[in-house]
Amino acid sequence: MVFRFPFHIAVGPNACYRYFWGTQHVLHFEVFDMTVPGHGLLSGKTGVIFGALNESSIAWAIAEAAYREGGRFILSNAPVAKRLGGLDALAEKTESEIIWADATSDEDLTNLFEAAKAQFGQIDFIVHSIGMGINVRKDKDYTELNYDWYQKTLDISAVSLHRIVTNAMNAESVRDGGSIVALSYIGGQRVFTKYSEMGDAKALLESIVRSYGYRLGKKGIRINAISQSPTRTTAGSGIEGFDAMFEYGEMLSPLGNADAASCADYTVTLLSDLTRMVTMQTLFHDGGFNNMGISTALVEALSDKLGR
Ligand code: NAI
């Protein structure tokens, strides 16, 4: 809660009630919008955003931010997500068409990029915000992985980026100078035990970003990964121990955990021309977490536990 004069009471990331004393000492209140104003960063640009499932999805926030910045796009998700019905509201809000495509299916992706071409001609950006750890979901320890599930995890969470880029390039769908962004997690570079097989998937994803980055450079197309803080989403909360990892991030990071809305703001800068010389990077968007060893908050918590 934030008290100032007039009093502001935050009720969510984007809205705030403001109480103030009007003339004749009458208490008024109004609701005002706290969203970051658009800067037209994606004005005239078109793209495809993969992975918005519900309001908590990082891709949902990215779609809202891209729309705010003037971008227009197709929303895509796996056909199995259709029955959940959540995407219609986002499509309406962002004036987008939804094209269902399993990101592990070349056939679905070919159809998607043909449809994107029919709608927009060439596109300027692609966002890959897709992930699923099958063994993690089924509580299989890293030392006891079911290899069929492991394969599926890698296929959905990492190889899908390769497939998406390959299909987009084969369809000559991406304009020279375009930008591709994929979502990653620091568990791809350091061991976060409960992240298990997903650490391998993110390591592969980040490697694909580098390997494809070289090939795409000839066309001036950029590709980067954003390594995001733990974020409360469907995929995030499917990981055992997520709350502990979230709290650890909160206690270690000087700025605290980055939320989905700030990740979305960062993403649109990478999709914009302002970052036209940035490619093949894994860029940390984590409130400073990756550069920390231990924080005073954690030292104090451990000292309390040790009774010293
Ligand atoms: P989410 O569950 O909202 O998004 C994951 C999406 O992947 C869902 O929309 C799901 O339908 C889609 N998906 C799964 N299988 C698919 C398939 N075969 N074809 C097409 N789409 C498929 O969760 P969240 O957290 O927004 O995840 C987005 C990305 O962000 C993922 O890559 C995730 O690993 C990454 N990330 C998430 C963090 C977190 O703490 N939530 C932290 C760092 C990265």
Of 12-21, 183-192, 243-252, 290-299, the least confident: 12-21
The reported pLDDT for the residue numbered 123 is 98
From 48, 50, 53, 105, mutation site for ligand 1 pocket: most ligand atoms within 8 A of C-beta: 53
pLDDT tens-digit map of 157-183: 999 999 999 999 999 999 999 999 999
| pLDDT (average), residues 70-98 | 95
The answer, yes or no, to whether residue 94 has pLDDT greater than 80, is yes
58, 259 contact by CB (below 8 A): no
Determine the distance separating the centroid of ligand 1 and the alpha carbon of 112, expressed in angstroms: 19
The answer, yes or no, to whether residue 8 has pLDDT greater than 50, is no
Closest of 127, 304, 79, 106 to residue 223, by C-alpha: 127
Instruction: Give the predicted TM-score (pTM) of the model.
Output: 0.90
Determine the distance separating the centroid of ligand 1 and the alpha carbon of 79, expressed in angstroms: 14
Which atom number of ligand 1 is nearest to the Cα of residue 228? 43
**Average pLDDT along the chain:** 90
Q: Which residues pair with 49 in a beta bridge?
A: 75, 127
Residue 245 makes CB contacts below 8 A (sequence gap 6+) with 192, 194, 195, 230, 239
The answer, yes or no, to whether residue 33 has pLDDT greater than 60, is no
Give me the amino acid identity at 175: R
Dihedral of the alpha carbons of 239, 242, 246, 251, in degrees to the nearest 10:
-130
Protein residue with its CA nearest to atom 13 in ligand 1: 130
132, 151 contact by CB (below 8 A): no
CB atoms within 10 A of CB 188: 22
pLDDT tens-digit map of 130-144: 999 999 999 999 999
The answer to whether the Cα torsion of 62, 68, 71, 75 is positive or negative is positive
Residue 10 makes CB contacts below 8 A (sequence gap 6+) with 1, 2, 16, 34
- Rounded to 5 degrees, what angle do the CA atoms 69, 71, 75 make? 125
Determine the distance separating the centroid of ligand 1 and the alpha carbon of 25, expressed in angstroms: 51
Which residue would you say has higher pLDDT here, 5 or 233?
A: 233
- Residue 230 Cβ inside 6 Å of ligand 1? The answer reads yes
pLDDT tens-digit map of 206-262: 999 999 999 999 999 999 999 999 999 988 888 888 999 999 999 999 999 999 999
End-to-end CA, the chain? 33
From 82, 108, 130, 136, mutation site for ligand 1 pocket: most ligand atoms within 8 A of C-beta: 130
Would you state the structure tokens that stand for residue 127, as one six-digit string? Answer: 């966002």
Which residue would you say has higher pLDDT here, 65 or 26?
A: 65
Judge residue 225's burial from the number of C-beta atoms within 10 Å of its C-beta, 0-12 exposed, 13-18 middle, 19 or more buried.
Answer: buried
- Residue 235 Cβ inside 6 Å of ligand 1? The answer reads yes
Cis-peptide into 6, omega within 30 deg:
yes
The answer, yes or no, to whether residue 30 has pLDDT greater than 90, is no
